[in-house]
């Protein structure tokens, strides 16, 4: 086993991995930027090494600085968390060259999923269902039109190097092809330095369902749980749950077996996620994420598998602690991503100082976070304050616990999306479980946020005053609520 692990990340995920290290009795090393001098994760670690200025391009993305920190502290392994260098093969190779274990998959597996076209070819050959379309790049608009005629409109153009919806264009007819292709190519070139575009049949109203898998270095591969990730806005997931409301035992066995097949096809080892689009009983491979994901805790809550710990054990060469038959789904878990952002101002980031903070607790609640009362959220990184997770015996109890936890959550000083989450949880279609990736737009959740904020204002004031906030601080709650009341009830603003 490793005698020391460096965590090449920040915030809640750095703490999540350090918690696994602590339980395994392994000392942890944090690396931190200028803006993170006072961050909780840097204090939580057994050692902390300064790696550069606040912008991540000069710190958390600086491969040389991170390798140097590992060599200087004698760390034998590096966990990259999510984002930053977690799916960067140059970083995985730099670790290998310096005799440091990369806690993640082999770089060949990262590479295999790097190009969407290659990934589609590999999956097709392995017998994994992919969305109807082509497995080659196109640059001739006439050829694109002919191919699209064969597939049938609408189609979607996707950059081969891409991800996260960037440069994707829906095309409804021949006439739309030329401008769409030109636009996709130019966005892809500037975003990814590669203007290769391919075509897929456009699926309407898909659900995004993904499978957590675990594979050891001996090739034993299992699926852990499925996750429903359709509640998103501009490809940014906001609420995830496990299992998916559409999942049956039979469907889970079928999709899980396909997820395992996908992982085996690329020689995968470590924790990973196979993403599918699901539409009217059919499902198709979309992409594979070769890292620990933000939403991994909901899988941990329903299966009791510690994914961060398993990743470390796998990287140390140990065989998986689980057979497929050991994995049972117990109850239901939901995660709300609590962000410092303003849902009424186009969800724009709202960094700043957290003046008062009290996170929820009680039965079935887990909060993964890197903040504290008095913490200054820096403007340089993502706006995640915490991941609030509720577990219950069934979906109904998980929702009730989440609503109760959102009621308890007090964050004074910065705007948050807590009212957005309340609005979704009160929505009848969400509660029915019958939704898809168009949910937030179709249900007009942005408008519902205003109503919910007004309804709950008094409750929040009374809880915040119990925290010892004076009148001005109580008014600052509404920094949390502020702009909503500004629109809804101007007479109550002062
Ligand atoms: C699609 C699609 C419909 N048909 N592909 C968007 C981001 C990237 N991960 C894949 N995306 C989509 N690809 C075909 N052939 C619809 C989406 C899509 C989507 C997918 C998953 C989760 C949320 C989404 C939101 C809008 C569009």
Identify which of 27, 40, 87, 42 has the alpha carbon closest to the alpha carbon of residue 61.
87
Name the token pair of 308.
């961060």
Of 130, 162, 168, 234, which is best to mutate to test ligand 1, by the most ligand atoms within 8 angstroms of its C-beta?
168
Q: Per residue in 135-166, pLDDT tens?
A: 999 988 999 999 999 999 999 999 999 877 89
**Cα–Cα dist 94/64, whole Å:** 8
The mean per-residue pLDDT over the stretch 216-241 comes to 97
**What does 404-464 look like in DSSP terms, one character per residue?**
HHHHH-EEESS--SHHHHHHHHH-HHHHHT---TTHHHHTTHHHHHHHHHHHHHHHHHHHH
Identify which of 313, 222, 223 has the alpha carbon closest to the alpha carbon of residue 23.
313
Nearest residue CA, atom 14 of ligand 1?
A: 202
| pLDDT above 90: percentage of residues in the chain | 84
490 pLDDT higher than 70? no
Task: Map 360-419 to HEC letters.
Answer: CCCCCEEEEECCCCCCEECCCCCCEEEEEEEEECCHHHHHHHHHHHHHHCEEECCCCCHH
Nearest residue CA, atom 15 of ligand 1?
A: 202
474 pLDDT higher than 80? no
Q: Per residue in 126-136, pLDDT tens?
A: 999 999 999 99
The predicted pLDDT at position 92 comes to 97
Q: Per residue in 263-307, pLDDT tens?
A: 999 999 999 999 999 998 999 999 999 999 999 999 999 999 999
| pLDDT above 70: percentage of residues in the chain | 94
CA of 486 to the centre of ligand 1 (A): 35
162: exposed, middle or buried (Cβ count in 10 Å: 0-12, 13-18, 19+): buried
Average pLDDT of the residues of the chain:
92
The mean per-residue pLDDT over the stretch 176-191 comes to 95
**What does 241-303 look like in DSSP terms, one character per residue?**
EES-TT--HHHHHHHHHHHHHHHHHTT--EEEEEEEEEETTEEEEEEEE-S--TTHHHHHHHH
Question: Which residues fall within 8 angstroms of residue 8, CB to CB, at 6 or more apart?
Answer: 31, 60, 66, 78, 79, 80, 81, 84, 85, 91
489 pLDDT higher than 50? no
**Cα–Cα dist 390/302, whole Å:** 10
Tell which wins on pLDDT, 115 or 24: 24
Pocket of ligand 1 (CB under 6 A): 131, 156, 165, 168, 200-203, 206, 208, 232, 235, 286, 437
The predicted pLDDT at position 185 comes to 95
The mean per-residue pLDDT over the stretch 408-422 comes to 92
Name the token pair of 123.
């999956």
Does the annotation count 227 as an active-site position?
no
Q: Please state, as a whole number, how many other Cβ atoms lie within 10 Å of the Cβ of residue 250.
A: 8
**Cα–Cα dist 52/64, whole Å:** 11
CA of 199 to the centre of ligand 1 (A): 13
Q: In angstroms, how far is the first alpha carbon of the chain from the final one?
A: 59
Cα dihedral 321, 323, 326, 331 in deg (nearest 10): 90
441 pLDDT higher than 90? yes
493 pLDDT higher than 50? no
Give the number of C-alpha atoms closer than 13 A to the C-alpha of residue 248, restricted to the C-beta side: 4
Q: Per residue in 323-374, pLDDT tens?
A: 999 999 999 999 999 999 988 788 999 999 998 899 999 999 999 999 999 9
Name the token pair of 459.
């409750």
CA of 207 to the centre of ligand 1 (A): 9
The mean per-residue pLDDT over the stretch 60-79 comes to 98
The predicted pLDDT at position 484 comes to 43
Instruction: For residue 369, report the phi and psi dihedrals to the nearest 5 degrees.
Output: -155, 160
Catalytic position from the list 120, 227, 252, 291: 291
The predicted pLDDT at position 470 comes to 56
Identify which of 366, 397, 385, 220 has the alpha carbon closest to the alpha carbon of residue 299.
366
CA of 165 to the centre of ligand 1 (A): 7
**Cα–Cα dist 75/14, whole Å:** 15
**Cα–Cα dist 292/369, whole Å:** 16
The predicted pLDDT at position 164 comes to 79
Helix/strand/coil for 133:
strand
466 pLDDT higher than 90? no
**Cα–Cα dist 214/259, whole Å:** 10
Locus of tokens 């308890």: 408
Do strands 384-392 and 221-233 pair parallel, antiparallel, or not at all (unpaired)? unpaired
The predicted pLDDT at position 494 comes to 34
Of 210, 227, 233, 277, which is best to mutate to test ligand 1, by the most ligand atoms within 8 angstroms of its C-beta?
277
Cα dihedral 113, 115, 118, 119 in deg (nearest 10): 30
* pLDDT range class, residue 467, cuts 50, 70, 90: low
485 pLDDT higher than 90? no
The mean per-residue pLDDT over the stretch 236-241 comes to 97
446 pLDDT higher than 70? yes
Instruction: For residue 238, report the phi and psi dihedrals to the nearest 5 degrees.
Output: -120, -35
**Cα–Cα dist 102/89, whole Å:** 10
**Cα–Cα dist 260/321, whole Å:** 17
Q: What is the pTM of this model?
A: 0.93
């Amino acid at each position: 086993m490793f005698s020391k692990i460096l965590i090449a990340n920040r915030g809640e995920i750095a703490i999540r991995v350090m918690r696994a290290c602590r339980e395994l009795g392994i000392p942890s090393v944090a690396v931190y930027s200028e803006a993170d001098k006072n961050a909780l994760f840097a204090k939580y670690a057994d050692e902390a090494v300064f790696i550069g200025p606040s912008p991540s391009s000069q710190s958390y993305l600086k491969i040389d600085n991170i390798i140097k920190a590992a060599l200087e502290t004698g760390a034998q392994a590096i966990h990259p968390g999510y984002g930053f260098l977690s799916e960067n093969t140059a970083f995985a190779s730099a670790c290998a060259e310096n005799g440091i274990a990369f806690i993640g998959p082999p770089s060949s597996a990262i590479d295999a999923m790097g190009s969407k076209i290659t990934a589609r070819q590999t999956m097709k050959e392995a017998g994994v269902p992919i969305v109807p379309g082509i497995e080659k790049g196109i640059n001739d608009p006439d050829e694109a039109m002919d191919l699209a005629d064969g597939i049938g409109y609408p189609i979607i153009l996707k950059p081969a190097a891409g991800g996260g919806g960037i440069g994707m264009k829906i095309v409804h007819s021949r006439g739309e092809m030329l401008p769409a292709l030109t636009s996709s190519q130019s966005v892809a070139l500037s975003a990814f330095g590669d203007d290769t575009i391919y075509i897929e049949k456009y699926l309407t109203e898909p659900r995004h369902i993904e499978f957590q898998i675990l594979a050891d270095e001996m090739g034993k591969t299992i699926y852990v749980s499925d996750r429903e990730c359709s509640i998103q806005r501009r490809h940014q997931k906001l609420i995830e749950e496990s299992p998916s409301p559409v999942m049956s035992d039979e469907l889970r066995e079928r999709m899980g077996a396909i997820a395992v097949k996908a992982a085996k096809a690329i020689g995968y080892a470590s924790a990973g996620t196979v993403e599918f689009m699901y539409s009217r009983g059919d499902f198709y491979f979309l992409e594979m994420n070769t890292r620990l994901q933000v939403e991994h805790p909901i899988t941990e809550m329903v299966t009791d598998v510690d994914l961060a710990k398993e990743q470390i054990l796998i990287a140390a060469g140990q065989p998986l602690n689980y057979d497929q038959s050991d994995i049972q789904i117990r109850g239901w878990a939901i995660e709300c991503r609590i962000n410092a952002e303003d849902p009424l101002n186009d969800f724009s980031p709202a960094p700043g100082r957290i003046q008062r903070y009290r996170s929820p607790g009680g039965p079935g609640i887990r909060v993964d976070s890197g903040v504290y009362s008095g913490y200054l959220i820096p403007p340089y990184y993502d706006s995640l304050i915490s991941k609030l997770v509720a577990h219950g015996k069934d979906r109904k109890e998980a929702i009730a616990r989440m609503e109760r936890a959102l009621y308890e959550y007090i964050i004074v000083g910065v705007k948050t999306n807590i009212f957005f989450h309340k609005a979704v949880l009160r929505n009848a279609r969400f509660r029915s479980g019958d939704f898809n990736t168009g949910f937030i737009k179709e249900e007009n959740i942005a408008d519902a946020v205003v109503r919910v904020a007004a309804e709950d204002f008094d409750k929040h004031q009374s809880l915040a005053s119990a925290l010892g906030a004076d009148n001005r601080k109580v008014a600052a709650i509404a920094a949390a609520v502020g702009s909503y009341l500004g629109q809804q009830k101007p007479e109550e603003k002062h």
